[in-house]
Chains A and B, each alone.
Chain A
């Protein structure tokens, strides 16, 4: 199984070469090609005890960019074996007939699925709510849900339909959680420098107080078809990763005071590693370039009263 996976990944890297002309990985060098400069060294610790995951958003086109991102992620998985992926919505664009799941998710991500990577989806405005029943999205029939990995609890929300019931569920879940790290993810960013959409202010009013009070460390969103890491907003780091297939070039407002790092000239995905009190991240472009990386410390929230 593992050997077959390596062969498939090698073939995938060869396909990537023909598409992008980017320097190959070590595997393609072993396949007999002329040795080329290795890609930039990863900044991730790749510790055996850490929580590792892939963050992707707005992926469901079934087009060449989605396939290329999936192949890059597969290639990355060889050196950085993340166990699961979070999906920030718009998982399937267009009509959701039987072939949509196959062509816009299962085929592009087949190598990762075959390697046992679990995908935990959230719903975007282009997603039918019935996606929650689709087993490979691991939503367990729920529009919003939580799961834990190590000392991290993830809260996947449905930002397209934020009812008071969902808000109550989120509040109770965050208050109950005893995990060191709390990460929320959902489709619509509550902070964004995007010229097309921008910050979702309604949603910000509702969820931000809960995040602040209950020690949420990082929030991932999609919807904007680019990558943006924002400067911490009241101590919380917000990351928009909506570049998984579609791209809105030049859409990050250039003079936004909120932007720590923006990338809107190509598609991308983000690798994340949580180790003790640090979250390491690395955003990689469709061309295989590391376009952002760094470390986010865990927030210290002593008590709910401390953030009021």
Chain B
């Protein structure tokens, strides 16, 4: 067992322990209740801050939705991307996804993979593009396809607004700005090595 896998297993067991204890106390642990404890509130606050920044920057540019053609659309995307990147030039991992939420995301992924058979797991992995280096504010690789997020897993992750998406990249899960394909944060090494 790799060290990373050992860490994931420990996290998994801790989370499961919490879940079992909560269940025994007749409280079903769901995202809403973890929000009450502040875990998700911090995450939601970071998301809201990002959306506000994005909206403020976007209001100074021509909207993507009225782009006339491919050239126009690409130009507007580039402008929005540059503006967001500049405004968040000091952003680092954890600025949007706090460690407590990262642990819950990892637990959800581990549980999902364990429930699937080998064929279903392989179907997830086959679309995920490799990545040489991951960083906040980098683009999702332009030449790579967007790996499809398994819907059943997606339903267990904290909800994101329409302008943001979870995607797997390499062995990590990223939060990607849908219109610029900027990586705004990520959790590394959530998937086992293949």
Q: Which residues of A contact B (CB under 8 A)?
A: 94-102, 106, 125-130, 133-136, 141, 143, 159-165, 167, 188, 197-198, 200-203, 205-206
Check B70 against A98 for contact (C-beta < 8 Å).
yes
B residues 149-169 near A (Cβ < 8 Å) are: 149-155, 159, 162, 165
List of B residues within 8 angstroms of A164 by Cβ: 154-155, 159
B127: interface (CB < 8 Å)? yes
Check A135 against B151 for contact (C-beta < 8 Å).
no
Residue of B nearest to A140 (CB): B65
Check A126 against B145 for contact (C-beta < 8 Å).
yes
Check A95 against B142 for contact (C-beta < 8 Å).
yes
Check B64 against A160 for contact (C-beta < 8 Å).
no
Q: Give which listed residue, B69, B147, B148, B179, contacts A134 with CB less than 8 A.
A: B69
Q: Give which listed residue, A102, A125, A165, A206, contacts B145 with CB less than 8 A.
A: A125
Annotate B59-88 by CB proximity to A: 1 below 8 A, 0 otherwise: 000001101111101110100000000000
List of B residues within 8 angstroms of A188 by Cβ: 148
Check A135 against B68 for contact (C-beta < 8 Å).
yes
List of B residues within 8 angstroms of A202 by Cβ: 120, 150-153
Check A203 against B151 for contact (C-beta < 8 Å).
yes
Complex A-B, nearest 9 residue pairs according to Cβ-Cβ distance, in ascending order: A101-B70, A162-B151, A98-B71, A129-B178, A126-B145, A141-B65, A98-B74, A160-B148, A202-B151
A18 CB to closest chain B CB (Å) equals 29
A200 CB to closest chain B CB (Å) equals 8
Check B73 against A125 for contact (C-beta < 8 Å).
no
| Total chain B interface residues with beta-carbon distance under 8 A | 33
In the bound assembly, the distance between CA atoms of A125 and B128 in angstroms comes to 10
**25 A–B contact pairs at CB < 8 A?**
A94-B143, A95-B142, A95-B143, A97-B74, A98-B71, A101-B71, A101-B73, A129-B165, A129-B179, A130-B178, A130-B179, A130-B181, A133-B67, A134-B73, A143-B162, A161-B146, A162-B151, A163-B151, A164-B154, A164-B159, A165-B159, A165-B162, A205-B151, A205-B152, A206-B151
B123: interface (CB < 8 Å)? yes
List of A residues within 8 angstroms of B123 by Cβ: 197-198, 200
Check A160 against B146 for contact (C-beta < 8 Å).
yes
B13 CB to closest chain A CB (Å) equals 26
Q: Which residues of B contact A (CB under 8 A)?
A: 64-65, 67-71, 73-75, 77, 120, 123, 127, 142-143, 145-155, 159, 162, 165, 178-179, 181
Check B69 against A125 for contact (C-beta < 8 Å).
no
Check A101 against B148 for contact (C-beta < 8 Å).
no
Check A135 against B150 for contact (C-beta < 8 Å).
no
A190 CB to closest chain B CB (Å) equals 11
In the bound assembly, the distance between CA atoms of A87 and B73 in angstroms comes to 20
A58 CB to closest chain B CB (Å) equals 12
List of A residues within 8 angstroms of B142 by Cβ: 95-96
Check A162 against B154 for contact (C-beta < 8 Å).
yes
Check A134 against B181 for contact (C-beta < 8 Å).
no
In the bound assembly, the distance between CA atoms of A127 and B146 in angstroms comes to 7
In the bound assembly, the distance between CA atoms of A31 and B69 in angstroms comes to 35
In the bound assembly, the distance between CA atoms of A197 and B122 in angstroms comes to 10
Residue of B nearest to A131 (CB): B73
Residue of B nearest to A188 (CB): B148
Residue of B nearest to A101 (CB): B70
In the bound assembly, the distance between CA atoms of A136 and B159 in angstroms comes to 31
Check B179 against A160 for contact (C-beta < 8 Å).
no
Beyond A96-B142, A129-B146: 4 further Cβ-contacts under 8 Å? Answer: A96-B74, A125-B145, A130-B77, A163-B154
In the bound assembly, the distance between CA atoms of A97 and B69 in angstroms comes to 11
In the bound assembly, the distance between CA atoms of A97 and B165 in angstroms comes to 21
List of A residues within 8 angstroms of B74 by Cβ: 96-98
A34 CB to closest chain B CB (Å) equals 42
Q: Give which listed residue, B64, B151, B152, contacts A133 with CB less than 8 A.
A: B64
Check A161 against B149 for contact (C-beta < 8 Å).
yes
Check A133 against B146 for contact (C-beta < 8 Å).
no
In the bound assembly, the distance between CA atoms of A85 and B183 in angstroms comes to 34
Residue of B nearest to A143 (CB): B162
